[in-house]
Amino acid sequence: MFTHRQLVRPSRLGARMHLRRRGRRGQDPVEDLRECCRASTAADKALGEAIQGAVAAGTPWREIGRVLGVAEAAGSGQDVINALARSKRDLWRRLWGAGGSDA
């Protein structure tokens, strides 16, 4: 019997997609973290599949980088990966308040 209740769900607002946390937030912060990690992994998998489809359709890496908001001058998939990784690290530092020190 499936008893896991999804705490993070996608919601669409016009052309924008958002992930919303639902349910009993804060009662178990580690479970909240685990659920967000599951959602993040699912989003990364979907992004990877979309990128593979774009590459298979002949979309240049420069265009893929532009659509992702990184590396408009990217000449290769590795350039896009590196630029996206830098962008994610910067975002995580801002959102997590992590300036490099351990908690």
pTM equals 0.73
pLDDT in the model for residue 6: 57
Is-contact 25 8, C-beta < 8 A? no
Per-residue pLDDT of the chain (103 residues; tens, 9 = 90+): 344 555 566 777 667 777 666 666 567 888 888 888 888 898 899 999 999 999 999 999 999 999 998 876 778 999 999 999 999 999 999 988 866 555 4
User: By C-alpha distance, which of 66, 59, 94 is closest to 80?
Assistant: 66
CA dihedral 74, 79, 82, 85 (to 10 degrees): 50
Q: How far apart are CA 34 and CA 14, in angstroms?
A: 28
Q: How far apart are CA 18 and CA 10, in angstroms?
A: 6
